[in-house]
Structure 1
């Protein structure tokens, strides 16, 4: 094998090893991340509230999906609507159609243009091929663009040189009929490697819904995909990957009767098909400069009783990182074109007849060293033009102070932008009501939501323990609200979207990691978030309401011996934001490495508390949640 390929493979292997290190090694190694500054850097040098979920923790926790894995991240709002659907965000109230959290797979955005959020049930990435998940709580708009005001999730997959051979996995349990995964990887000559995978899953329905005796949240999911990594020489590397996912799932709906406009509860079977393909070329120009160009296409089609959509999103991104004396300069350009097809139904009609829109711009940031090895200043701005609100700007300034190798202080002030989603801008929707025809009406005059966020943070790292604390205060204007306007005879009520509200959000997160003994690793996470709306007369909140949320997460992993380990996660959720009772749940997993090739695990989720609602926000149009139950499943894996 040529030396340059060996060197690159060794670098990737080091990252893979990092994801499998124990607590002591992680504390000593200073985990490297990419999402906070859009280039590789040490986590201790990151002026942001960031958390890294490693492959080792994902594997040992027994989770079976990305949304379930995000429950392991302190400060993340992860609420389960039913066995298929999720509401996920950070530093805000989560909804099924949350639009302020950017989610990416290896830098490729997977959002849905209709509501600018994520269909989490279609995110069927093989967990065993994830190297790590980087989660930024707080604004990431300068580097990643609009609608990243509450956070950024970047799911980073393994290099194919680390997934050679054959891997098979089977999961079954009381709610999972079967989940089977298969992956094969290998080399393609001396310069490249590959992997291909396939997955099929079938799940059972819950036993109780909020509005019906029997829930309707069974599901079927299939995925197939692959990746190729090509190392041309010392200067060039190339990645291409693709995935196709098909789902067919049940849901309970709250709709209006088309004759009487009375609220009715129905059962629906909905389908979605998603296809993503991405290619990335990276080039090292010199010892101080490199560049990257990435192109991707995402196709999404869905059909349910009230809504049918078909989107094709094309993204092109270019970025250059360079060092000029002691100043680190990063800049980039981006372009996105979205093709739109939304079929009109009895419940949805188009107002503006939009069939496409585009989005383009660029960013520039610079990192200055004010005091060598101690004080750094990062400033920058992103400017973008979109088809809905025109030019938008997202400036940012961050200060990083490291007075000692064990202590890091940081502060940040930034402006984030949330662009109105297509549904808020273009569509008229029939909402359920009590006998009066009620329509939710889009508004082409909506303004972009602009939020000023101030953050403070502190990290301390010792050999056997560490602490990470962050505080934030965000003031947003032009926040989405709803204005009710009845006609003269009160036979029709228009719920018009307006951008007239203000929203103040504040709170903080704290994470303490501690390894008291060689065989025990523990982590304690605490977060609190408060929301305060300022609404003009005659309007109500479109998303959430004045409320607060508190969360406590306690995680522990105990290695009984080299073959057996136990992982426990205890989570307490309290607050008013989801109109549910406070609850606490326990997840337990026993891992057994039977042979170097075969492993077995047994997991129990949502233990102790019994059936409970995690989401009951009646403002969520159409959504009917179910009670979340205790569940048990077994998993066996084989790697050859």
Structure 2
């Protein structure tokens, strides 16, 4: 389980992820396909729905769902949205969701060690970053413990990801509280698109070894299914001093998905995962552990091309033990309903709501350091939302008005509206803008934590953090081989988490959490795509961000300004995909990240290169090199560094 440690940032706590081990045999995963390889399906090396194979004109017209919870062309979306397709993830050779997010412009990803990441968009980064909503197939991945994501516990088979849609900027009007700075929506492939067998194994560099196996078949006359298993053994990363960080990690996971066509109008999806992980803890000389499972049931009825209803149920169980401070057992139940319909010829409505409940039991392994009071708690949230997209000028000007109302057990009622417009100048140029309000509701940490025997405690009066966000964007297809996407943002934050006193030199104790922080972020994001030849695709991005956070007049909290220290002002990314020949492709990824001066993290450059050789239509060999420019470097504060790594892998489709 992640350890809660005080950072120099007074409003954040550093966490090191929890780990656990699910026994899995790499050897079994290598030989199992010979048992189950019945009626193998042909391998499609270039699917027509792979975004990487589309021209720029086609890419601008792909449908996205994250912005409006309904399909709409990317070119017309009134938000800073980027779609990362599954084939690009496969070509990169990355083995985890955080590393896949590095491929997305505007997402800040900083790695601390073998298992811990700080990930956000548009500021407030931390190992417990709490302003980014992350979903996978409709299941929210954030934890009610601190409103962030335990990245060590979130995994899937990378080859099963169809796409990752990312909205930079608030998405609370549809996705709810905690979608303050952005939304990450991970969509996996349908079972019909993963038929036949798949097997992968490899190792080297940061990996002591990894293996994955999947098989998909027909579920009678109604649909298709797939099952998968994977195991990943991470080698220790580097400490800032001599030697490694002694933080080796194992993660093992099983999963399934079934897609059934119950009738001409009705579809049913059932899917789930089971995982267990383990991370060596050099401080306790014990292995931290994490485990859990989840189940999703989703039913959809389509009435016509513009009207449908979808109901989804999610159950998510998780357990953690960090061996030093606390254990956690948590159950989450979510029920959501969404209905899409039209009114007349120019209005598209999406309405819906949900009921969400979570219960936990947090045990204290060292009450003098950290505990939660009470140890067990149950929380409920009820929400309703509505969005109306109005075509004010046919095929030209669209206005999108939306809002979500939530009632939660921490702050009661919350209202989160947004207004967006998009103006289609012509088929190659679109201008859009938005004004949104979003909140980050309190959590267990804010209200019930007790640190150092009551020196720092949560407060039941702590209320929601707020943001009022202004955005403006422009998309253009300059010609058939060059496109650009620009977004400018200005966010005003209020009621940010702060302390009642200087935590390191208090005049009175206990020090409590209060909402005395305020601040703003501003910046712009530029993404350029260039395809000089069908076999060569280049993506370049630049992000500038300026952030200023402080406490209100009269506060004794002197540490909140250090919120500014974890986010670089400048980031540059460059990606090249080159099909050198039918049997050989290369992806090169370079990035430069500005310094975090106040926490003494230097600016760094990194180069990753992946080369894939297709020995036959069914067999591939890959060589992946990461952080090739230096032996090791720090990406975030914390004392550990990320080392150069080269690993190989073998992939077989059967």
Fold match (TM-score > 0.5): yes
2:624–2:647 contact (8 Å) kept in structure 1: yes
Query: Match for 1:480 among 497, 508, 525?
Result: 497
1:101–1:150 contact (8 Å) kept in structure 2: yes
2:521–2:548 contact (8 Å) kept in structure 1: yes
Which consecutive aligned stretches of 4+ in structure 1 deviate over 6 angstroms post-superposition? 485-490
State the shift of 1:546 in Å.
3.3
State the shift of 1:188 in Å.
1.0
Q: Could you tell me which residue of structure 1 aligns to residue 650 of structure 2?
A: 636
Tell me the alpha carbon deviations over residues 199-247 of structure 1, each in whole angstroms, 9 at most, x when there is no partner.
112121124246x854121011110010000001221001010001111
Distance across 2 between alignment mates of 1:488 and 1:138: 36
- Does the alignment pair 1:222 with 2:252? yes
State the shift of 1:14 in Å.
14
- Does the alignment pair 1:339 with 2:355? no
2:595–2:604 contact (8 Å) kept in structure 1: no
2:359–2:376 contact (8 Å) kept in structure 1: no
Q: Could you tell me which residue of structure 2 aligns to residue 62 of structure 1?
A: 93
* Residues 251 and 353 of structure 1: CA distance in aligned 2, closer, same or farther (over 3 Å): closer
* Residues 247 and 590 of structure 1: CA distance in aligned 2, closer, same or farther (over 3 Å): same
Q: Could you tell me which residue of structure 1 aligns to residue 227 of structure 2?
A: 196
Query: Match for 2:588 among 568, 583, 588?
Result: 568
Distance across 1 between alignment mates of 2:106 and 2:203: 30
Query: Match for 2:441 among 399, 416, 419?
Result: 419
- Does the alignment pair 1:237 with 2:254? no
Secondary structure of residue in 2 paired with 1:484 = coil
- Does the alignment pair 1:168 with 2:189? no
State the shift of 1:489 in Å.
11
Distance across 2 between alignment mates of 1:15 and 1:493: 64
Distance across 1 between alignment mates of 2:135 and 2:220: 30
1:132–1:156 contact (8 Å) kept in structure 2: yes
Unaligned runs of 5+ in 2: 1-43
- Does the alignment pair 1:467 with 2:472? no
State the shift of 1:113 in Å.
1.4
Tell me the alpha carbon deviations over residues 249-271 of structure 1, each in whole angstroms, 9 at most, x when there is no partner.
12456xxxxxxxxxxxx555210
Query: Match for 1:583 among 593, 604, 614?
Result: 604
Distance across 2 between alignment mates of 1:21 and 1:598: 20
Q: Could you tell me which residue of structure 2 aligns to residue 262 of structure 1?
A: none
Task: Kindly report the root-mean-square deviation, in angstroms, between the aligned alpha carbons of the 2 structures.
Answer: 2.2
2:239–2:639 contact (8 Å) kept in structure 1: no
Distance across 1 between alignment mates of 2:218 and 2:583: 31
Q: Could you tell me which residue of structure 2 aligns to residue 627 of structure 1?
A: 641
Distance across 1 between alignment mates of 2:228 and 2:61: 32
- Does the alignment pair 1:549 with 2:580? no
Q: Could you tell me which residue of structure 1 aligns to residue 457 of structure 2?
A: 441
Q: Could you tell me which residue of structure 1 aligns to residue 337 of structure 2?
A: 318
Distance across 1 between alignment mates of 2:380 and 2:143: 14
Distance across 2 between alignment mates of 1:607 and 1:543: 34
State the shift of 1:55 in Å.
1.0
Secondary structure of residue in 2 paired with 1:72 = coil
1:28–1:463 contact (8 Å) kept in structure 2: no
- Does the alignment pair 1:308 with 2:327? yes
Q: Could you tell me which residue of structure 1 aligns to residue 151 of structure 2?
A: 120
Moved more, 21-30 or 303-312: 21-30
- TM superposition score normalised by structure 1: 0.90
2:56–2:483 contact (8 Å) kept in structure 1: no
Q: Could you tell me which residue of structure 2 aligns to residue 501 of structure 1?
A: 517
State the shift of 1:610 in Å.
2.7
- Does the alignment pair 1:558 with 2:578? yes
Q: Could you tell me which residue of structure 1 aligns to residue 7 of structure 2?
A: none
Query: Match for 1:514 among 525, 530, 550?
Result: 530
State the shift of 1:30 in Å.
1.6
Greater relative contact order, per chain length (Cα 8 Å cut-off, separation 6+): 2
- Does the alignment pair 1:298 with 2:316? yes
Distance across 2 between alignment mates of 1:165 and 1:487: 59
Secondary structure of residue in 2 paired with 1:546 = helix
Secondary structure of residue in 2 paired with 1:594 = strand
Q: Could you tell me which residue of structure 2 aligns to residue 80 of structure 1?
A: 111
Distance across 2 between alignment mates of 1:543 and 1:331: 40
Q: Could you tell me which residue of structure 2 aligns to residue 275 of structure 1?
A: 293
Q: Could you tell me which residue of structure 1 aligns to residue 419 of structure 2?
A: 397
Tell me the alpha carbon deviations over residues 559-596 of structure 1, each in whole angstroms, 9 at most, x when there is no partner.
11110011100000004375410000000111111100
* Residues 41 and 599 of structure 1: CA distance in aligned 2, closer, same or farther (over 3 Å): same
- TM superposition score normalised by structure 2: 0.88
State the shift of 1:486 in Å.
7.8
2:313–2:335 contact (8 Å) kept in structure 1: yes
* Residues 409 and 578 of structure 1: CA distance in aligned 2, closer, same or farther (over 3 Å): farther
1:486–1:494 contact (8 Å) kept in structure 2: no
- Does the alignment pair 1:131 with 2:162? yes
Moved more, 281-290 or 325-334: 281-290
* Residues 143 and 59 of structure 1: CA distance in aligned 2, closer, same or farther (over 3 Å): same
State the shift of 1:64 in Å.
1.2
Distance across 1 between alignment mates of 2:211 and 2:64: 31
